[in-house]
Amino acid sequence: MLNTRPLHPGFGIEVVGLDLSSPGSAAAIDEMVRMLDTHALILVRNQTLTNQRHVEISRQFGPLLTHVLKQFLTTDLPEIYVLSNVQEDGKPLGNHKEGWNWHSDLSYVEEPSMGSLLYAVEVPPVGADTLFSSMQLAYESLPIAMQERIRDLTATHSYLGYYGKAFADRAPLSDEQKARTPDVVHPIVRTHPTTGRLSLYVGQDIVKAINGLPQAEGDALLAQLNAHAINSASIYRHVWQKGDLVVWDNRSTMHCATPYDDDTYRRVMHRTTVAGTRPF
């Protein structure tokens, strides 16, 4: 049995007193894999993980994906996607300003990630918290009439559209990157494949349009759903410490980075991304 405490009344749990660096923690990790379906977010603090161990732990959750932005796979292992403001020899160590909008990882592919494991290697003393929202709480707290209105709607998610908005100051995607990320269509309300619980599946910037509605009406509905999803009642704010590992379920949560003084402080985060199945 793991020793746990809740992080938010509706979702998220911290596992305390666990050393994930030891291969003896395999059974505990299996329990975390099961817990993710119901708790949606798991925090384990005070870890010292090698890249190898981070990847091994992540593999217990499922097969891992490698990110389309290969220039940010800068460790010895391609499964680790680096988020950072640090430059080394004039080259970025990782993607800066990754996730500075509300999103669920890889929603722009046909089979988005089921979960991500983000490990804090270096964190600023203030700022750079990550906000997480339970999209299950968000869906369940919508008025019934709204739940019914959106129940069968779909949305188009576009990495190209997102990249143009989020990273307008950068070189555009290469043809190969574009070919790997065509627009995709997903339901706005998705069903958790193991628990059957429903959640909203929206997001900022990546969602280009709600299908079957005039653009302006779709945009207004999307803005309304996003605003509802990120209201404070369904949000857990994670204040990072070096050595934190946070695992989240991309099928039932969204998250968003917050700014920090990136001229003064260094931030280095390592993410692994677990493969998922097509949302329904």
* Interface residues toward ligand OGA, by CB under 6 A: 83, 98-99, 105, 116, 118, 130, 255, 257, 269, 271
> Shortest approach of ligand OGA to residue 171 CB, angstroms?
21
> Shortest approach of ligand OGA to residue 205 CB, angstroms?
12
Q: Report CA-CA distances (Å) from 245 to 134, 162, 226, 269, 277.
A: 19, 27, 27, 10, 24
- Residue 271 interacting entry, from ligand OGA, Mn ion, none, C-beta within 5 to 8 Å by type: ligand OGA
Query: Is position 115 an interface residue for Mn ion (rule: CB under 5 A)?
Result: no
Query: Is position 105 an interface residue for Mn ion (rule: CB under 5 A)?
Result: yes
Q: Which of residues 61-100 bind Mn ion (CB under 5 A)?
A: 99
> Shortest approach of ligand OGA to residue 95 CB, angstroms?
9
DSSP character string of 42-91: EEE-S----HHHHHHHHHTTSPEE--S-GGG--SS-TTPEEEES-EETTE
Instruction: Tell which residue, 73, 36, 74, has the closest CA to residue 58.
Output: 36
Nearest-CB residue to ligand OGA? 99
- Residue 269 interacting entry, from ligand OGA, Mn ion, none, C-beta within 5 to 8 Å by type: ligand OGA
- Residue 249 interacting entry, from Mn ion, ligand OGA, none, C-beta within 5 to 8 Å by type: none
Choice between 186 and 271, CB closer to ligand OGA: 271
Rounded CA-CA distance 169/164 in Å is 9
- Residue 83 interacting entry, from ligand OGA, Mn ion, none, C-beta within 5 to 8 Å by type: ligand OGA
Choice between 31 and 129, CB closer to Mn ion: 129
According to DSSP H, which parts of the chain are helical?
A: 26-39, 51-59, 135-140, 144-150, 159-166, 175-180, 215-229
> Shortest approach of Mn ion to residue 83 CB, angstroms?
9
Rounded CA-CA distance 180/193 in Å is 25
Rounded CA-CA distance 40/24 in Å is 24
Helix (H) or strand (E) holding 156: strand 154-157
Residues that bind Mn ion (CB under 5 A): 99, 105
